[in-house]
Amino acid sequence: DAGVIQSPRHEVTEMGQEVTLRCKPISGHNSLFWYRQTMMRGLELLIYFNNNVPIDDSGMPEDRFSAKMPNASFSTLKIQPSEPRDSAVYFCASRTVPQETQYFGPGTRLLVL
């Protein structure tokens, strides 16, 4: 299995631009998670999907952030407009239900100038 796939691996953009991060979960996994990792705040859960339906988006910081999961094999996290404080590593993870282990992708390193 290829594992969780994220793209791009690195993104550099200017403040105000739209950023779209992509994730392909492991085939057969029913749940998908988006996390953000920064030095100051550590790992934060942004949003969680179960069977393509958003279950908990309480971690989404602002309306500038949105996430979708149009089908079981693809999810996006969009930031519009982006700000320098959004600079972080964004991870996607997936798991089967009710299996508890989450499998993480390699992350997208975002730098907003």
Partner 1 sequence: AQSVTQLGSHVSVSEGALVLLRCNYSSSVPPYLFWYVQYPNQGLQLLLKYTSAATLVKGINGFEAEFKKSETSFHLTKPSAHMSDAAEYFCAVSDRDSGGSNYKLTFGKGTLLTVNP
HSE toward the beta carbon, residue 76, CA cutoff 13 A: 9
Q: Would you count residue 83 as binding partner 1 (CB under 8 A)?
A: no
Instruction: CB nearer to partner 1: give 12 or 97.
Output: 97
Q: Site for partner 1 (CB under 8 A): which residue of 12, 15, 97, 111?
A: 97
Task: Give Cα 34 to chain centroid, integer Å.
Answer: 3
CA dihedral 98, 101, 102, 103 (to 10 degrees): -120
Indicate whether 102 belongs to the interface with partner 1 (CB under 8 A). yes
Q: What is the DSSP string of 35-62?
A: EEEETTTEEEEEEEEETTEEEE-TT--S
Output 82 or 102, the one with its CB closest to partner 1.
102
Region near partner 1 per CB under 8 A, out of 19-27, 65-73, 74-82, 95-103? 95-103
The two three-digit tokens of residue 47, written as one number: 């949003």
Q: Which of 56, 61, 111, 113: binder of partner 1 (CB under 8 A)?
A: 56
Binding site for partner 1 (CB under 8 A): 4, 31, 33, 42-43, 45, 48, 50, 55-56, 91, 93, 97-98, 100-107, 109
